Structure 1
């Protein structure tokens, strides 16, 4: 086998795999190993012994490392970054990514080492929480990036929360960055949609920009109602970034069309624009302009006339107001003709518990194709009030939701007007269902049904299943969760749903509902029970007798996993124990 073939093989392997498989085979392989570039890839499933093995071989090969992607905390070690960077000098490192940095890691010392690497062009930190990086480290990182302390850097991702207020005190130094992604986050008194201007003034060479702006917690959205004021903006003083061709703007703070306009006019040569507005809850109304296609048309034509790609997701939970969904959809018709394969959809439904609350979601068909955008998640859907409209003239609304695999539905006896002909959420595999208690008169009538195991076909057509099929493809459901609010009065609905989902193997249900004779002793459900492999019994106060356990084992012969809550009285205190078998 020629050396060229070995080089190609090693391109597909990381350093640990290479040293594990090829070390000490023969002199020829050892010679090749001294000449190949090495890539270190450490996931959170690796072990300390593997890291020690890797480090021992890096002693004579660390100068060959060009790429590092490290999880700081692995199975049995909590500071891998310290371990490797204290032992080795990666003088030819070109790309460095740190994941889930542990609080014990001496990041300041690591950053000092990174600043001496004149070949490092790409650097990233992905931090799920703020526990591992303190404010001093964040300050050091912002200085390294925005004061050009590492002039070789061209691409940076800083995925942790920080308000970057200190940047306003930095001298006006233009970085060499071409690509930048970061999160600006803080209190509503310090962070706003305009905070990104602090960053833009240092990024005149930037071409690809992803910025997330968010309040530090959800309650700040409510405080922002009184604090949000449009500052005086001098158009002549706005930063100009003529090289920016890609903008991914994710906004989880209050904004309006004027603030978006101020941002867009900074980037006159923008070609790709992804916009996300996601407000979990707010007591201020969504500006009408942001759901008006004509306003978006004016902003784009005026400030970014070279745009070739425009995708957005706007989602908000807010106070209810009557909207003409057809009028909103029609206002976006301009973009259907302007951009290829462009369509948008709008959905609206009232909150199932909060009086006067609603969810409103607008998004484009191709929004999901951008890997840097946020995931489209659907809050619990109140089917009774669910409305949907789309610019598409085809019967393809389900394509807008093709990546949705988890869905929660609130089903009532009242049904919304169905304006679509096929299931909207056809790829859902995990379905959670909540149903209100049936009124006393209906419940009494159901209790008097003698043959509860037999369901009348005419009743079936009038009940829940035909309606449910408008929302999900029941044949693709593998997991069903009947939420704890689903009362035993809904036993017949539970029976019908289970019978019409032929591929369910994972069931979550309240103990009270499962042990109800009309469910556990229902012969029509025995074939369904035989397929179930996993059960989670949702906590509620009910005596779980030994006979109940034996009956579950009998009814569910394929069961290999059961999770339930046991209540025991000890020292006059009730203890809750989750048991997984």
Structure 2
């Protein structure tokens, strides 16, 4: 590359400002000067990593006029530019800045990003896309159909283009025209097409021979697409490894047979489908011939057959024997009569050996009036902090509650919880609201007799303040619950702890993320005295999150408990900012 290449003139305009700023540097402290020197001593490789977070214009604005070393860095063939058309840049500045960089560094440009059709037009009026022979990635957002077609026609001459992302708000053309032009790009590995329109036309012909096969390995179809259309599209992409469809549906008016989908290299398939009954989905998924390792399915439908676990077992065993990770989300939909569809399957179907052996577990989520059921791969959770082995996956079913702040939703909440209990027992409860109502919490625990753990953010301050107005018999039946582990995000005072003990008297483990301004020694001393004074309490382990906790704090707490004889046999340790205490 030419070492005498001149700097960009849009930087020349700021030279006077730069000179003034240099005068001000004389007032800098020695410490600041030393820090600048240490930054300049960083290796070229470190700066290249920094440049990865910046676009071409930002790199020039920040580094081009510093010194000869950075001039060489910027003009080195080791540095590749990504050019991004930011909304905040006015049109004239955009074109001037880009044109000057392109004039002297075109061979270093590996990606172009445009956010409007008007910018694409202005760019094409001064440059030809096919001249960017080292271009590897192209991003076109909010692009109009006619502009897009003019760009796609010229992309076939780019020998290194591997990634193409297209976003359109509207289109009047047949998407087959777009797909066929894209499939002709010989080096393309990644392709994503997003269109925010539901009524689309895709009339692709079936490929005749291997000469019509695309090199694409990752395909994201982010627009409405029928199963029939999908099967035709992927018949052009037999090298696919990654496939994602975000708006899939079944065209019941079209009785055309779905073609077999033979994708031997496909290992990941993600499918979001709407209003597709299970038997239609089953008919489609059986057409896929691949060695899938990851399958991600999201369904919004009024067909509870999706929650019949045995049918999933048979389907996965027969058609996807190499599957390692499985994710299924079913959104329970209310019909026009404000009723949920009837579930006719048995309880705990997702707790059989098939699911336990694969560590695929169930969680249900209630968000307002909506219910979602999710099957996902188990990962270590807070309630297994002390248990690295012997995890009981058959009791992993979790219920997550969110967005039921209004009391108007409480009755609906209890109704939905009862509905979920016809499908699975619930062993773990997570409440995501900022403040949990004590009355609602107690009633929930009564509704969930198998509950083992409880996680919440904090208790309602108003109810804690008016705790004397809540009769003791309100908590009496809660003593029969089995909640053994509690995780609370925030405890404001010791009354919170006493209240938790009343609600969960058989609690053996308490985890607290924040004790706010309370003194950790005083708080720990009060808890341990409470436990020691009443043998009825089962609490035997605590975890506190203390910001900036260190080994000295752990040692001080250890000495305090020994000196005051708060515990006889105990262990205390620190893991990052968490302090764990166990005793017998």
Sort the TM-score into its range (normalised by shorter chain): 0.5 to 0.7
Q: Deviations over 1:107-166 (max 9, x none)?
A: 232223333322111111245xx2xx4223845422222xx3211111101121466643
The alpha carbon displacement at 1:462 in A equals 8.9
2:186 matches 1:151:
yes
Counterpart-to-counterpart distance in 1, 2:103 and 2:401: 47
Any residues of structure 2 matched to 1:95-174 within 5 Å, and which? 95-99=137-141, 101=142, 103=144, 106-127=147-168, 130=169, 133-136=170-173, 138-145=175-182, 148-160=183-195, 161=197, 165-169=201-205, 171-172=207-208, 173-174=212-213
1:39 is matched with which residue?
Answer: 82
Q: Is the contact between residue 248 and residue 273 of structure 1 (CA under 8 Å) also seen in structure 2? A: yes
Counterpart-to-counterpart distance in 2, 1:16 and 1:405: 44
2:136 matches 1:94:
yes
TM-score w.r.t. the length of structure 1 is: 0.57
Any residues of structure 2 matched to 1:232-243 within 5 Å, and which? 233=257, 238-243=260-265
2:108 matches 1:69:
no
Residues 456 and 155 of structure 1: is their aligned pair in 2 closer, same or farther, counting only changes over 3 Å?
Answer: closer
- Which of 332, 340, 348 is the aligned partner of 1:320? 340
- Which of 274, 282, 287 is the aligned partner of 1:260? 282
Q: Is the contact between residue 227 and residue 284 of structure 2 (CA under 8 Å) also seen in structure 1? A: no
RMSD of aligned Cα (Å) = 4.8
Counterpart-to-counterpart distance in 1, 2:314 and 2:402: 30
Residues 81 and 311 of structure 1: is their aligned pair in 2 closer, same or farther, counting only changes over 3 Å?
Answer: same
Q: Which secondary structure state, in structure 1, belongs to the residue aligned with residue 181 of structure 2?
A: helix
The alpha carbon displacement at 1:293 in A equals 0.9
Q: Which stretch of structure 1 is more off in the superposition, 109-118 or 78-87?
A: 78-87
Gaps of 5+ in 2: 1-40, 381-399, 479-484, 493-514, 517-584
Counterpart-to-counterpart distance in 1, 2:86 and 2:433: 26
2:303 is matched with which residue?
Answer: 286
Q: Is the contact between residue 247 and residue 273 of structure 2 (CA under 8 Å) also seen in structure 1? A: yes
Q: Which secondary structure state, in structure 2, belongs to the residue aligned with residue 21 of structure 1?
A: helix
1:299 is matched with which residue?
Answer: 315
The alpha carbon displacement at 1:70 in A equals 3.5
Counterpart-to-counterpart distance in 2, 1:124 and 1:261: 31
Q: Deviations over 1:39-72 (max 9, x none)?
A: 1234445554662463133322123110233433
Counterpart-to-counterpart distance in 2, 1:412 and 1:8: 52
Counterpart-to-counterpart distance in 1, 2:140 and 2:121: 11
TM-score w.r.t. the length of structure 2 is: 0.57
2:362 matches 1:344:
yes
Q: Is the contact between residue 95 and residue 121 of structure 1 (CA under 8 Å) also seen in structure 2? A: yes
In terms of fraction of residues, the more helix-rich structure is: 2
The alpha carbon displacement at 1:266 in A equals 1.8
- Which of 47, 60, 63 is the aligned partner of 2:104? 60
Q: Is the contact between residue 135 and residue 160 of structure 2 (CA under 8 Å) also seen in structure 1? A: yes
The alpha carbon displacement at 1:291 in A equals 0.7
Counterpart-to-counterpart distance in 1, 2:90 and 2:487: 42
Residues 287 and 40 of structure 1: is their aligned pair in 2 closer, same or farther, counting only changes over 3 Å?
Answer: same
Counterpart-to-counterpart distance in 2, 1:418 and 1:239: 47
Counterpart-to-counterpart distance in 2, 1:65 and 1:349: 46
Counterpart-to-counterpart distance in 1, 2:135 and 2:110: 4
Counterpart-to-counterpart distance in 2, 1:475 and 1:252: 40
Q: Is the contact between residue 428 and residue 452 of structure 2 (CA under 8 Å) also seen in structure 1? A: no
Gaps of 5+ in 1: 73-77, 186-190, 216-223, 280-284, 352-358, 370-375, 432-453, 478-501, 504-581
Residues 287 and 395 of structure 1: is their aligned pair in 2 closer, same or farther, counting only changes over 3 Å?
Answer: closer
Q: Is the contact between residue 332 and residue 340 of structure 2 (CA under 8 Å) also seen in structure 1? A: no
- Which of 263, 272, 295 is the aligned partner of 2:294? 272
The alpha carbon displacement at 1:461 in A equals 7.6
